Structure 1
Amino acid sequence: MPSVMGLLEEREAAARVRAQELRADMERMTVELADAEAVLERRVIARVELAEALAAGGEQAQASDAGVREAPAVSGKAPAPVVGSVVPRWHEAARADALSVDYRRIVELVESGAGGGEGFSAKQLTAGLGLELVPGKIEGVRCKARRLAERGWLAASPSGRFTRRLPTGPARPGAHKRVGRDGG
């Protein structure tokens, strides 16, 4: 007859194995979720880009049909960005208001300087945004921060940290002078 202690140890071992299997499944599913979210984000961007390209093509066709190109109407206020919208390129007059809420929060967090002189890692940005520190969320924030860096809103270091955008003006007097055969 088996002992009660032996039966409890067997059940404990079985529960431990099941917990380890579930942890492995959870890790695998987290990675799959991050991959699926990345694919979804790329497809949303592709759809938005296509819609913009088609809209621009339609506007050009209408202008060429009329034979006259009119300047686009400028309103006093830009339309509010929507979630999933394309990140515009940074320019001198650009303000963070042009970004959707998620991107704006990342820019504001980096510009706050809370990360010190070395900038923010994707994990620090995720924590600073108050999101759960799981691989899917961290990769989503990294993707958004990388996109902001590609469009000039932030600077990305080779180590993967994100800092304020680098100044665009000349670094020193005379930096804009031409040097070479024709310029001196």
Structure 2
Amino acid sequence: MASVVGLLEARELAARERVEGLREAADRILAELAAAETDWQGWVVARQRVGEVLTDLPEPEPRAAVVKPVPTGQPSAPVAASQAVAPSAGPARRGSIVPVWRPGLKSDVLALDYQRILALLVARAAQGQGVMSCQELAAGLGLELTSANVEGRVRSRVKRLADRGWLAEPVPGAFTLAAGTAADS
């Protein structure tokens, strides 16, 4: 028959081994966390620096071109040229970075997909209606209402525009022009 002290020592040893194993796992996770945070901070700095560089670009001569909304399958009022988002710089190429909005920055610095989203919201604001859901935006862009289009093509873009100050999200999932962009449009 085992002694009580021997049983207690065996359980103490097992508990100590478990604690040491958990400490090693915690140390590994903390090291991975530190590396991930360093990587993340590098991307934050990179984005900020690109935003600064884009902010310092000289303003080119204004052009007469106007961004027009994409025709939709749903009936809506056409956007007048005075309501369209006015350009201010050379056209952005597909996949370009969305700069942080600042006064005087026009929508033509954005890629065409982002310009179309803004044009739809400008038209909606001109009709006295405020917010649009991602499904309404997808339909307004003439996209099939699939998860890939609504989530992948529309929601990701409007969230990026909202994060950069171009749009506001007064209600989760509903977007409208931000106060400053509405005044500049």
If the length of structure 1 is used for normalisation, what is the TM-score? Answer: 0.49
If the length of structure 2 is used for normalisation, what is the TM-score? Answer: 0.48
